[in-house]
Amino acid sequence: MPSETNVVDSVDKELFIGGKWTRATDGKTFGVRDPATGDVLCQVADASPSDGVAALDAAVAAQDSWANHPPRERGEILHRAYQELTSRVDELALLMTLEMGKPLAEARGEIGYAAEFFRWFAEEAVRIDGGYATAPNGTGRFLVAKQPVGPSLLITPWNFPMAMGTRKLGPAIAAGCTSVIKPASQTPLCMLALAQILANAGLPQGVVNVLTTTDSNGVMEPLIRDGRARKLSFTGSTAVGRTLLEQCSEKVLRTSMELGGNAPFLVFDDADLDAAVDGAMLAKMRNIGEACTAANRFYVQRDVAEEFSRRMADRMGAQTIGRGTEEGATVGPLINEAAVSKVTDLVDDATGRGAKVLTGGSAVDGPGHFYRPTVLADVPTEARMAKEEIFGPVAPISVFDTEDEALRMANDTEYGLVSYLYTSDIKRALRVAERLEAGMVGLNQGIVSNPAAPFGGVKQSGLGREGGTVGIDEFLETKYIAVAT
């Protein structure tokens, strides 16, 4: 296993612009902290708005030649990057755990998941298709071509610092788009490591440019309003997504928005309860509950509610809290103190309205930002946590009697990313899955993410899809050529 100091030292901490590692113009840097200890791991370059313009200049300069690069070669570069990611899984996982906090086993899982986006889009690069048709009156022909959208701005969150990057960079690179990518300031190191991996794989200068900054709005808004970038792909909160959509309206940028969630998890009384509890643990505790796909509300049919709640409390109470690097730790720290305060407020609000604490219910004293795995029963629908993303290890359970009531509660949210459903009745499964207002449904399974499947939400959870055969379309324009015959 590589040492912590070595993996942090091995990452270049400067901006990656036009294929070169560059200091921020004013020489500014910012500290990256380990959320398990609060200690500063290292300093990275803090881009200013003029660095942003330099990155967009580089992406614009590289666009034509990258669009004309043979698709097979674009795919082969992604494939080499996939191979390097998988061959360095241990050191990259450690880097991720240090800056983001998730347990090492989960970080390893994310490196594998992230790498798979490169493998998938390496294969998609050579399958960009078009069309040829005879006009209905028989006197003309239609040619339909798919072309790269053009220079793209990509913004990613801290919770999956590698996979959210490859989920955007994979299709952008495969489609022939250049990009400027900005990772979250809490977790810049994974993206910097990824830039080096892409350079090692032979990606030409300027195709991917990385900006690390504490001034997200100051650096990105001028690029969005600049007019040369043709696309914004964002993953993050719905609140920030709304602001960015407004900014994009000025130059009518194409947008892809992967936003927040508030996933319901329905357990019917005919469900396999062992499978439902296993699935609930995955849906809740993956990434310490800090996932857009995290089950945020558990609705359980009355006859099995007590048994389900008891088993969940046993499983959650048996988790091991610790720094993600510690042997056996299953629950790492939340990203920062603000996250702990938010979870604390939401739990206090629910208990103040009558919810019962079955296990957990409080933060762990510092150092680090830990919250105990928590199960709450009898959570009323007016509780704030029924409406807001908890983003922490808290499972609120409420009871329902009928299928209609379950659906009403599940759909009573502005979000629509994913819903989970446990039942052994296939007719009910299909009926309920069709009526759930969500872009994705986990049917008797607690994880839906897969690079080969279309990931995305409806309602205020987003626009567009990432992954699957449609993922590359987000970076392609359709051009129709009318041919006289």
Give the residues lining the site for ligand NAP (CB under 6 A): 155-160, 164, 182, 184-185, 216-217, 220, 235-237, 240, 243, 258-261, 292, 389, 417, 457, 462
By beta-carbon proximity to ligand NAP, the closer residue of 235 and 330 is 235
Q: How far is the CB of 254 from ligand NAP (least distance, A)?
A: 17
By beta-carbon proximity to ligand NAP, the closer residue of 98 and 259 is 259
Q: How far is the CB of 147 from ligand NAP (least distance, A)?
A: 26
Q: Can 337 be counted among the known catalytic residues?
A: no
Closest CA to 204 of 180, 178, 230, 181: 178
Q: Which two tokens stand for residue 106?
A: 């989960």
Q: How far is the CB of 221 from ligand NAP (least distance, A)?
A: 6
C-alpha 37 chain-centroid distance: 24
Q: 37 φ, ψ to 5°?
A: -125, -20
Which residue number places its CB atom closest to ligand NAP?
Answer: 236
Q: How far is the CB of 68 from ligand NAP (least distance, A)?
A: 31
Q: How far apart are CA 164 and CA 166, in angstroms?
A: 6
Three-state DSSP state, 354: coil
Q: Which of 258, 290, 466, 474 is catalytic?
A: 258
Q: Which two tokens stand for residue 351?
A: 């208990």
Q: How far apart are CA 56 and CA 152, in angstroms?
A: 9
By beta-carbon proximity to ligand NAP, the closer residue of 84 and 389 is 389
By beta-carbon proximity to ligand NAP, the closer residue of 155 and 379 is 155
Contacts within 8 Å (CB) and 24+ apart, 405-408: 406/266, 406/268, 406/299, 406/301, 406/432, 407/432, 407/435, 407/436
Q: Which two tokens stand for residue 292?
A: 């857009």
Q: How far apart are CA 244 and CA 235, in angstroms?
A: 11
Q: Can 290 be counted among the known catalytic residues?
A: no
Please, which residues have CB within 8 angstroms of residue 73's CB and are 6 or more apart in sequence?
Answer: none
Q: How far is the CB of 155 from ligand NAP (least distance, A)?
A: 5
By beta-carbon proximity to ligand NAP, the closer residue of 159 and 301 is 159
Q: Which of 116, 290, 292, 474 is catalytic?
A: 292
By beta-carbon proximity to ligand NAP, the closer residue of 150 and 157 is 157
Q: How far is the CB of 33 from ligand NAP (least distance, A)?
A: 13
Measured between alpha carbons, how far is residue 471 from residues 119, 174, 198, 453 in Å? 13, 10, 20, 9
Q: How far apart are CA 302 and CA 269, in angstroms?
A: 8
Active-site residue numbers? 258, 292
